[in-house]
Amino acid sequence: AQSVAQPEDQVNVAEGNPLTVKCTYSVSGNPYLFWYVQYPNRGLQFLLKYITGDNLVKGSYGFEAEFNKSQTSFHLKKPSALVSDSALYFCAVRDASGNTPLVFGKGTRLSVIA
């Protein structure tokens, strides 16, 4: 079975500081990994995905994520946080070897303080 863990319910960071939102996963084969963001009163928006190749993936709004196979992690990062980055962030995984649905984590609420 595949699963995703987002160990932090809430992350607070000052504007201009770097931010990290953590995600670890478990799949039987190779993973396909995704990050989505949900702004207040809006639907989920795709940020980035890792399929294969370079472990560092760059996405929308200046976000990036690093795939670490040995640590089974896919942490989301941004060098300099903006107040407008405040939202709910979801990590998701799918096993590349099976025809299974995308499994989402419980989400991490990011608050960027001016």
Partner 1 sequence: GAGVSQSPSNKVTEKGKDVELRCDPISGHTALYWYRQRLGQGLEFLIYFQGNSAPDKSGLPSDRFSAERTGESVSTLTIQRTQQEDSAVYLCASSLDRGLVETQYFGPGTRLLVL
- Which residues make up the interface to partner 1 (CB under 8 A)? 4, 6, 32, 34, 36, 41-46, 49, 51, 90, 92, 94, 96, 99, 101-107
Min separation Cβ 109 and partner 1, Å: 10
Q: Which is nearer to partner 1, 15 or 26 (CB)?
A: 26
What is d(CA 37, CA 109) in angstroms, rounded to the nearest whole number? Answer: 10
Min separation Cβ 7 and partner 1, Å: 13
Strands (E), the chain: 3-5, 10-14, 19-21, 24-26, 31-38, 44-50, 56-58, 64-68, 73-78, 87-95, 103-104, 108-113
Q: Which is nearer to partner 1, 13 or 33 (CB)?
A: 33
